[in-house]
Homo-oligomer: A and B are copies of this chain.
């Protein structure tokens, strides 16, 4: 994969020009065979790269993203490109005429938006294999899913096409594809990055996030996006001595895949070795909390799609229709109760772990499964890819998936580090301690 550290240095020093870099990325994306790419913005990207190159020639440097190619999930509006959200329902969507603050901030910071990356249809699924643009294929094994819904963003980064991509995470959609593809996926605390100009799945849970080749790249992107005044802040060195690490030990949090379970144990050992204090955390309320997720996401998603389901039903992928129609008649009181459960159990969860800096678990219960399969060794795939991540959309806490140590040749395993006392920079620092050089 492309390391942003090396890339950024090469661009700043003039060793590599933004135009060469962007042209190379565009070529790679054009040749991609993982169904990761939806639309390229080649002409505009190259023109922007020329501008960034001219700035460098005049000794103007916008920061570590200056001239860096970035891709965005096809839920983000990008001026001049349609937003199709992985659906034939939006096949005729006009080119967007505005874009949201996150895309705008990337451009200001010097990033070159090269195009749109695939998404599970309307972001409503953690597998990534249901989309009008085809089933995204995992670069580590093209017969397997990427995970979703930010399928193309994870695949493009994992394939080494680019160091950074934007995704969204409503219940899993940044962290799960990051885990399955072996990249880093950061879901910030709900609300810290604006979701304006992003097609919604469920507005009370939707979170803009970052997929990146490594923790350093994710940290740079987070610094840029979280500091709109451009004050930067520099990357802090890893250092977790004395940190309180809570390991989620209830059955609910356990991986079904033994390689994944061992990877989590090994990650905890690494953190302990690095000086962290490890605690076992029990969450007896987790079943009740997790049940609120489907109620909330279902109601909000169905409310968005109800009119289209009446008029454009045939344009949806069959699984999407089935899942949306399954929740069509849910009562309002159940939705209201789910939101109350979310608030009440978030408070209970926080009280139970208030002395922890971070919580650790697997990101998913399974590693990448074969495309199209919905049950593997008796384990339901969708819930296996959603159950460990969605609780932290409900609590709104920041959470990052980082590749955990596995034997050579094994499919990637993601470990999830969730912030309680620590915010995004803090959990990235902990994640960094798990990264292999």
Contact = CB atoms under 8 A, between A and B. Distances in A.
A300 B335 CA distance: 9
A302 to B, nearest CB: 5
A340 interface: yes
Interface string A323-355: 000011111111111001000000000000000
30 contacts: A203-B340, A295-B332, A298-B332, A299-B332, A299-B333, A299-B335, A299-B336, A300-B336, A302-B332, A302-B333, A302-B336, A303-B332, A303-B333, A303-B334, A303-B336, A303-B337, A303-B340, A306-B333, A327-B332, A328-B333, A329-B331, A330-B331, A330-B332, A331-B331, A331-B332, A332-B332, A332-B334, A332-B335, A335-B335, A335-B336
Most chain B beta-carbon contacts within 10 A, residue among A300, A303, A327, A337: A303
A331 B302 CA distance: 11
Q: Is the interface of A mostly helix, strand, loop or mixed?
A: helix
A337 B332 CA distance: 11
Most chain B beta-carbon contacts within 10 A, residue among A295, A303, A333, A340: A333
Contacts of A298: 332
Contacts of A331: 328-332
A334 B340 CA distance: 18
Nearest to A336: B303
Nearest to A300: B336
A332 B338 CA distance: 11
Contacts of A306: 333
